[in-house]
Amino acid sequence: MGKRFYLSLLFILIIFLSPLKLIAAGSWEKTGGPIGGLGYNIKIDPNNPRTFYVTDAFSGLQKSTNSGKTWSQINNGITTRSGPTGDEIPVFSLAIDPEDSNILWIGTQNQGEVFKSVNGGQSFTKKTNGIEEAEGLTIRNFAIYPDDNNRIIMTGELDVGEPGDEFSKVKGVIYRTDDAGENWTKLWEGDSLARWVCINPNDTEAIVVATGIFDREAFNTSGLGAIKTTDGGATWFDANEGITGSLFMGGMAMHPDLPGTMLVATGNNNDFNKGINGGIFISENAGNNWTKLYPSSAFNFDYKVYTASAFAPSNSNVLYAGSSEAIFVSQNFGKSWKKRAGLNGATWGPRGIRAGVPIEIQVDPKNPKTLYINNYGGGVFKSINAAKTWKNFSTGYTGANIYSISISDKKNTRVLVNGRSGAFRSNNSGATWRGLNISPVSYAEGLASAIHPQRAKIMFISDEHQGQVYKSINGGKAWSLVFEHPGADASDANNRHGAKEILISKSNPETVYIGFSNDGLFSDPESEDFTNSFGVYKSINSGDSWVEANNGLEITTQNITAMVVNPEDENELYLGLREGGLYYSEDGANTWTQISEPILNSNGVYAIAVNFSNQEGTPNTIYAAGLNTGICVSSDGGSTWGQTLSTPENQLIRSIVINPNNKSNLYAADWYSGVYESTNSGISWNLINTGLNNRAVNDLGISADGQLLYATTKGEGVFKLSL
């Protein structure tokens, strides 16, 4: 009897406590994906080849002690923060002391700060005394003297606030410390950023520095190439004899056994646009002159911007170099090269993933066929067969900037996202992600996404620059280009456009709407310097053909920032403009009428949610928000407006969603403070940011069963919250 009583009591307690546990567990969960970010360095611990470090300018420093199976962020003591919410950890460069691999050096992006760890990254201490610059200085590299680990060379990029043709114009600096970072002394300042460093171990007064990178322009326009000192940095001179074409050096590596032998990869996107090409060069006399290894003739001159290079430590005849399109490998010290890229015109990297721009190549110290690459825009990838095939080496961490999310109504676990690193699909609510960048999809950065409400394998995605919209009918395994606006030009920085919104009508999925915006909406949404875009286009045959639908929008900038369609009426829509307010159509976008109040007209509309009544005589309830407007609400279809969320300084609501199971529950994402929740139709709001490491939220999505809320962020991928 007693035992039965206690079992009954235990059963009651379990039932009673379960809801409390669910409430207490109201914390965002980081999915750890999809991959992406602003990767820079990858390093292998010289004393423990199972230990890896990678840097990302959004999510900071990551460490793996099990050969990449799992990763952990190790940013304790790194106080530098950036981004709209101050959550980004802009760790850029990393060096491991070869004498004592517990000593790590890291440098930050744009803020000129250096940190040191003496315990393998468990904690860091700032070491900036003597660094003259602060804001605008990006630390690009460290080189530790082979004969004295208290002496370190540090190189950097100094943004001087002058725009170039396509990228910022920058200067460069070189510093040195002789006392393990307690004090730094400037050795050089010049007209192009300083980056890779080779210190001759036989003569440490002789140092060669490579300058430039693929996506910065030099203050002197032409670049500097390689510079050299033979007196420890007191004087510097050019070391470019034999270098032809671009003087922007994407990568430099020193031979593991022959200190005077160096490999460089050159090229720059802006130079490429001017017809100035890069290549792969080698010097066997400490930079006194260089010999071009590749391309050796016009016949193999297929890529013109090379961004990384490396020797294989265990077999110095094996050389690697990289570009955003392909990886190049030579097994005979550069006499001949093989190009490794994807099938059917796809770029290098794992299938479905746009790997990005290689920044650093690390070759396994014992196996010349095993290499790792960290990338701008992609992640870290590993090959075990000399770059023939690749696998993702960064599962579990991400620095991805994800712009949009779409969830299948029929399969609540299927999620589609799109962003800077491309489109990805999850079939298990974000537990794992699969890249969908399948040839012939060739866009640089993704933008919008949409899943068919009933047929989850039908998907649409768009790019941010080229005005393109793609469709897949097999879950992203293959794509077809269904729309390309002729007015978009990705090569013109002022004329890049993308479909910010893609809407598939739930009542008639053959009807699809797309809304265009000039690019920069996610990188600099507050900018007032944007060109007119192309407005709305409509298809009534699932994307086979399109018609322009801008009647009533002619006097606006036609930069569409938000769109909503009635799930029960394909002809009833609302749209928001980056400048010009809120518009309404009840005839399938044949005509548009402005309905918003002046504050939304002048500040733009960046988010819309509508509680459609679908009852004649009962108006819709509209929620709309813009820049520093809070959330405005109209309960009479837009005739009158009030405000439901007050307007703190620096507020930009980018997404509003309504819980389909309880229309009184609303969620709003602010780019500056995270996610708000209202349980009373917007009368009051509370921040719900527990566990949301990055609060700069671009988009929200809610499953059709109302159980899961997703947030896409600027710098840590996708988070989810159980409701």
d(CA 106, CA 126): 10
pLDDT of amino acid 596: 85
Question: CA 620 to CA 604: how far, in whole Å?
Answer: 21
Q: State the pLDDT at residue 138.
A: 97
DSSP 3-state of 240: coil
The pLDDT of residue 297 is: 62
Taking residue 507's Cβ as centre, other Cβ atoms within 10 Å add up to 14
The pLDDT tens digits for 595-651 are 988 888 888 999 999 999 988 879 999 999 988 889 999 999 999 999 888 777 778
* CA gap 209, 188 in Å, rounded: 11
Q: What pairing do the DSSP bridges indicate for beta strands 327-330 and 319-322? A: antiparallel
Q: Which conformational region is residue 637 in: left (phi greater than 0), alpha (psi within -120 to 50 degrees), or beta?
A: left
Q: Does residue 278 contact residue 268 with C-beta atoms inside 8 Å? A: yes
Query: Domain spans of the chain?
Result: 402-722
Residue pair 676/619 in contact (Cβ under 8 Å)? The answer is no
Backbone angles phi, psi at 78, to 5 degrees: -80, 100
Q: Are strands 39-44 and 29-30 parallel, antiparallel or unpaired?
A: unpaired
Whole-angstrom CA distances from 637 to 342, 620, 640 are 52, 5, 8
Can you list the positions of beta strands (E) in 65-167? 72-73, 91-96, 104-108, 114-117, 125-126, 137-144, 152-163
**Paired tokens of 369:** 């066929």
pLDDT in tens, 278-303: 999 999 999 999 999 998 764 455 67
Q: Is the omega angle on the peptide bond into residue 90 within 30 degrees of 0, that is, cis?
A: no
List of long-range contacts for 587-594, beta carbons under 8 Å, 24+ apart? 588/511, 588/538, 588/549, 589/513, 589/536, 589/538, 589/549, 590/549, 590/551, 591/551, 591/552, 592/536, 592/550, 592/551, 592/552, 592/553, 593/552, 594/552
- Asked if the peptide bond before residue 295 counts as cis, ω within 30 degrees of 0, the response is yes
- State the DSSP code for 13: H
Q: What confidence score (pLDDT) does residue 597 get?
A: 81
pTM score of the predicted model:
0.92
Q: What is the pLDDT of residue 637?
A: 93
Output the pLDDT for position 1: 39
The whole-number pLDDT of residue 8 equals 35
Residues 6+ apart with CB under 8 A from 286: 200, 206, 208, 228, 259, 260, 262
To 10 degrees, the CA torsion angle through 35, 142, 311, 366?
-80
The secondary element (H helix, E strand) that includes residue 536 is: strand 536-539
Report the run of H or E that residue 273 belongs to, with start and end.
Answer: helix 269-273
Per-residue pLDDT, 301: 52
Q: Coil, helix or strand for 544?
A: coil
- The order of strands in the sheet holding 708-713 is 29-30, 718-722, 708-713, 697-702
Protein fold of 402-722: Methylamine Dehydrogenase; Chain H (2.130.10)
Residues with Cβ within 8 Å of residue 420, at least 6 apart in sequence: 36, 377, 400, 401, 402, 403, 445, 446
**Among the listed residues 287, 285, 243, 234, the one whose alpha carbon sits nearest the alpha carbon of residue 265:** 243
The pLDDT of residue 26 is: 83
Residue at 157: amino acid letter: E
Predicted local confidence at residue 482, as pLDDT: 97
Phi-psi region of 510 (alpha: psi -120 to 50; beta: other; left: phi over 0): alpha
Which residues in the chain come in under a pLDDT of 70? 1-25, 297-302
Cβ neighbours for 554, distance < 8 A, ≥ 6 positions apart: none
